[in-house]
Amino acid sequence: MTDVPVASASTAPVEDKREKQFTRDFWVVPIPKRLRHDPKNPPKFGLVLNATFGFASTFVVSNLYYCQPLLIEFSKSFSVSYDRVSNIPTLVQAGYATGLLLISPLGDLVRRRQLILLLVILSTSLSIGLCVTHSLAAFEALCFLVGAVTVTPQILMPLAADLAPPERKASAISIVLSGLLFGILIARVLAGIIGQFTSWRVVYYFAVGVQCLSLTLLYLVLPDYPAKNPEMSYFGILYTMAKFAVTEPMLIQTSLINIASSANFTNFWVTLTFLLGGPPYHYTTLAIGLFGLIGMFGVCMGPLVGRLIDRLVPWYATLVATLALIVFQAIETGAGGINIAAVIIMCLGLDVFRQMQQLSLTTVVFTIDEKARGRLNAVVILSLFIGQVMGTAVGSKVFVKYGWRAAAGLSLGLCGWQLLILMLRGPHCKRHTWFGYEGGWESRKSVVMERKRMEAEAKSGVETRRETTVDEKNVEDGSAEKQERQSDDAEDIKEDVKEKEDIKEKDPSRMTTL
């Protein structure tokens, strides 16, 4: 990715002339001079900054998933039942949902460098508490708080969209999203390995270390930017977020697709343990866990998918991804419980094309309002969270009661629902169009952008010609008026001459007097 001045991005914040340059974080820690906001010399947005966003997303979001492989260790350490420690993942996710709703929208209200650094400081400090506490109640409370402040990736993602040039937005978002998905996968693997050979507390010491590293990198490379909406209040931000959720057709369409897509994804991975652990496979827990590593292929494909989406109108990328998900899910429904190859194919296809679908939907949602991307992203992530809850609850019950094919059939139905919702609006619908097709069928983004540019130039040309016509008309009107005055003057002169001639004929002596 070529470095570009962040101020050249279409959504770069406009500097208030009265705003003083910030030179310190939290009024204490100096901001490196090269990172201070200066409209005349904006910092560069390139691969280093984008990769730092992805790295920080990986090891911050991991806080949500370290606990899942460690529940048995928690039970032994705190001397409580499995039922009691099963509340820990629920509390972490509940805290995360709270943070999405109440904290992540702050990205549209305050300076984001300070907000991001503060959140990482808080999550690191709370993780230290998890390392040393010997009280289960305190551990549970800390887990909730850690979940609440682990929303840094949801502020970094809209920030990447703000700073990247228009032709690289999907690529920039894909790197952050890939980092987030990689964190979800690697957290379970690392926690399981470290917990197996040492203590569960070492897992959280590791979390503290990598978060300190993330904090250092962000401090050294994250530029400072002014607040996007300094005139708004916190409750105004929350109100507009709720308003977006019920008045924006594009956002509602995306949310409905995301709920079904997330439910499908969660249903597959939750019931995969039951499928592989039972007949005909009878795989061990270790072998089942290794299937999660297949998901890393999808993560690695993320930047390539982003480059593809940068070339396509997002609607077509979503259509391709949704149709591909239907095909892979049909394979799983037909042979998932018969041949392990079907399961592997499904793992690969689900990871790649779900990421493509989510990335294309997020890209188009961010075009709704450039100053509200934090709030829009919060609604998108909340829809994914709702889908996860639905997929976990419903998918498990269907599998236990009716078997693997019924659970796979449920996912296939969810894929069909996604296609139905997508087809309600065409690829070039205007912002407030709820249903229908308009604006043609062009799939290449470059052609669409060129068409819009030509239309803008044509519109500008019409305005210029209109102004020129008005000026010419004024000139013509002025010339006509001048000619009319000259004609009137000539008539007056003729009348004077005629009058004098008449007087001369009647009374020559009087003419001498005149």
Domain limits, the chain: 26-231, 233-431, 448-513
Angle between helices 295-311 and 314-335 (to 10 degrees): 150
Q: What pLDDT score was predicted for residue 415? A: 94
**Region for residue 21 given its phi and psi (left: phi exceeds 0; alpha: psi -120 to 50; beta: otherwise):** beta
Q: How far apart are CA 277 and CA 399, in angstroms?
A: 13
User: How is residue 228 written in tokens?
Assistant: 């996007």
One fold for 26-231 and 233-431: yes
CATH number of 233-431: 1.20.1250.20
CATH class, domain 26-231, is mainly alpha
Q: What pLDDT score was predicted for residue 10? A: 43
pTM of the complete model: 0.74
> Pseudo-torsion of CA 177, 179, 181, 182, nearest 10°?
160
Strands 29-30 and 4-5 turn out to be unpaired
User: Is 348 within 8 Å of 294 (Cβ atoms)?
Assistant: yes
Q: What pLDDT score was predicted for residue 313? A: 81
- What are the per-10-residue average pLDDT scores of the chain (514 residues)? 50 47 74 78 80 92 86 85 80 88 88 92 94 92 94 89 79 84 83 84 94 94 85 87 89 93 86 82 74 74 75 86 94 89 89 86 86 86 86 83 90 94 86 80 72 72 60 59 62 64 58 47
Q: How far apart are CA 194 and CA 209, in angstroms?
A: 14
Q: What pLDDT score was predicted for residue 14? A: 45
Report how far apart, in Å, the C-alpha atoms of 418 and of each of 15, 65, 217, 245, 361 are. Answer: 41, 27, 39, 18, 12
Q: What pLDDT score was predicted for residue 138? A: 93
What SS3 state is found at 44? strand
Ramachandran angles phi, psi of 400, nearest 5°: -65, -40
Radius of gyration of the chain (CA): 33
